[in-house]
């Protein structure tokens, strides 16, 4: 039986893998586990519950709310808001628990449940394990201890959440965006209202695409995984830049005035240098993963910024940031964490901070992003091999060593087993695309031979 909780909560096809019964049961289990951990001690517990616009979020939200209230937790329903908004409101309202229903950038049929602890922080792995264990025990028939009478939770709409969150976003910006024209791709998702409103309040002239969610069109040919529409709209409207979110708006990718993509590494580069200049880049350090482009590392070295690299996954970036007290980190995918203002990746905040840097410097985004040159990167997924032996194969170690010598200081090799699929990822970067491709294909053949 596999673990329910992955790196980003519980996720699966709604009404197949993730059912109303499971959503209700996990919510009751979370309430009981947090009560046992002392989170609710001495007061009546409160939870903030939000969702993205997926059709399945409607019944799953009802199940979560029912589960929490039946366990004696008062619920504030904030409706359709981004994941980072639910995290922020959990902290700002002093709630004991936050629950977000979303499957992020996944297609519409999927959905997920993510829990936040007090303060809007991700639940510790140990608490997630206890929630899962408790849920499984009771799913097999053990009855819950349920409150009655005045002990049951009460449910209220908290409509002020939208304005409170947008005001927070605009309030943390170092400068206004007056004079900028920005195109926003809302992915027909959770930021469809929030992001345009925040940019407009900050002074930008806003053009919107994919901001009309109907419950079925989330991430459908739009958003951070499909930038074609944003590129075209930026050029058509003569905009200074465009920003694209994913379904739950914890990510942001950008497009410059010429319609060229600006990925998470480039966004981190721009923000890191701006924060260094302002004296807010704590430890003069930015945290990223081993999948960041080598061009990012070389740019940070050249600009005198320390780069700490972690395993792949925003959770590892966040752990390292908290451990070292750093203020900026993220991933190439556009999951950027500004820890002074957010407890998790926040796509709207990232886009606003990027636009604020353009406005403050008066320099086009292409010029700012040009501080780093993306080296050609070739990624090959090798399937049907024993991924558990990647780190122990002497043959592969020799092949990688030879490739690294061949590439020198302007190239890089990374072999890693996928955490979610039965495959090995071969990633090669080089100054020349053909060289990167040739080395990657050679290493992929070695992986097949050594681990097949």
Count CB neighbours of 313 within 10 A. Answer: 17
CA-atom Rg of the chain in angstroms: 23
Q: Which residue, among 330, 320, 325, has the nearest Cα to 350 in the 3D structure? A: 330
3-class secondary-structure state, position 77: strand
Query: Can you read off the two tokens belonging to residue 65?
Result: 């709310």
- Judge contact between 347 and 337, C-beta under 8 A: no
Instruction: Flag whether 246 is marked binding.
Output: yes
Catalytic residue of the set 27, 56, 102, 104: 104
Judge whether 248 is annotated as a binding position: yes
Active site (annotated) includes residue 104? yes
Provide the H-helix boundaries in 72-140.
83-92, 125-139
Q: Which residue has the tokens 């910006």?
A: 173
Q: Exposed (0-12), middle (13-18) or buried (19+): which is 405, by Cβ within 10 Å?
A: exposed
| C-beta contacts of 311-318 below 8 A and 24+ residues apart | 312/416, 312/419, 313/7, 313/289, 313/419, 314/344, 314/345, 315/7, 315/8, 315/122, 316/289, 317/287, 317/288, 317/289, 318/122, 318/344
For the chain, the distance separating the N- and C-terminal CA atoms, rounded to the nearest angstrom, is 26
- Burial label for 335, CB within 10 Å (0-12, 13-18, 19+), is buried
Q: Are the beta carbons of 345 and 326 closer than 8 angstroms?
A: no
8 has binding-site annotation: no
Give the dihedral of Cα atoms 275, 167, 58, 74; nearest 10 deg.
Answer: 110
Query: Please, are residues 317 and 264 in contact by the beta-carbon 8 Å criterion?
Result: no
CA–CA distance, 132 with 310 (Å, rounded to integer): 27
The residues facing 328 across adjacent strands are 338
| DSSP reduced 3-state for 337 | strand
Residues marked active site are found at 104
Name the binding residues for Mg(2+).
Answer: 104, 246, 248, 250
Name the binding residues.
Answer: 104, 246, 248, 250
């Amino acid at each position: 039986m596999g673990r329910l909780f992955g790196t980003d909560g519980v996720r699966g096809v709604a009404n197949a893998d993730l059912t109303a019964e499971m959503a209700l049961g996990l919510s009751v289990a979370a309430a009981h586990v947090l009560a046992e951990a002392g989170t609710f001690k001495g007061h009546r517990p409160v939870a903030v519950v939000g969702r993205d616009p997926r059709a399945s979020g409607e019944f799953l939200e009802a199940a979560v709310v029912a589960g929490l209230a039946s366990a004696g937790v008062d619920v504030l329903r904030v409706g359709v808001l981004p994941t980072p908004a639910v995290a922020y409101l959990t902290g700002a309202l002093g709630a004991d628990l936050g629950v977000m229903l979303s499957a992020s950038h996944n297609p519409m049929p999927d959905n997920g449940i993510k829990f936040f602890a007090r303060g809007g922080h991700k639940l510790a792995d140990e608490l997630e394990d206890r929630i899962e264990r408790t849920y499984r025990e009771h799913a097999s028939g053990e009855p819950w201890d349920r409150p009655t009478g005045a002990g049951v939770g009460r449910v209220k709409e908290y409509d002020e959440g939208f304005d409170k969150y947008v005001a927070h976003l605009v309030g943390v910006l170092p400068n206004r965006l007056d004079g900028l024209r920005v195109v926003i791709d809302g992915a027909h998702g959770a930021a469809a209202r929030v992001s345009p409103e925040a940019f407009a309040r900050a002074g930008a002239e806003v053009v919107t695409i994919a901001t009309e969610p109907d419950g079925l069109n989330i991430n459908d040919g739009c958003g951070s995984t499909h930038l074609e529409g944003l590129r075209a709209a930026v050029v058509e409207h003569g905009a200074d830049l465009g920003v694209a979110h994913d379904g739950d708006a914890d990510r942001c990718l950008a497009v410059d005035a010429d319609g060229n993509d600006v990925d998470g590494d480039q966004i981190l580069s721009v923000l890191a240098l701006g924060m260094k200049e302002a004296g807010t880049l704590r430890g003069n350090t930015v945290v990223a993963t081993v999948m960041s482009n080598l061009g990012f590392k070389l740019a940070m070295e050249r600009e005198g910024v320390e780069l700490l690299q972690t395993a792949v996954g925003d959770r590892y970036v966040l752990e390292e940031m908290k451990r070292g007290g750093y203020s900026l980190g993220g991933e190439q995918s556009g999951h950027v964490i500004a820890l002074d203002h957010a407890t998790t990746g926040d796509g709207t905040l990232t886009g606003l901070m990027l636009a604020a840097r353009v406005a403050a410097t008066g320099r086009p985004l292409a010029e700012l992003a040009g501080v780093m040159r993306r080296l050609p990167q070739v990624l090959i997924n090798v399937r049907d091999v024993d991924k558990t032996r990647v780190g122990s194969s002497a043959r592969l170690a020799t092949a990688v060593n030879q490739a690294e010598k061949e590439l020198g200081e302007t190239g890089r090799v990374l072999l890693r087993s996928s955490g979610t699929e039965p495959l090995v990822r071969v990633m090669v970067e080089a100054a020349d695309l053909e060289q990167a491709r040739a080395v990657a294909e050679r290493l992929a053949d070695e992986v097949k031979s050594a681990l097949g």
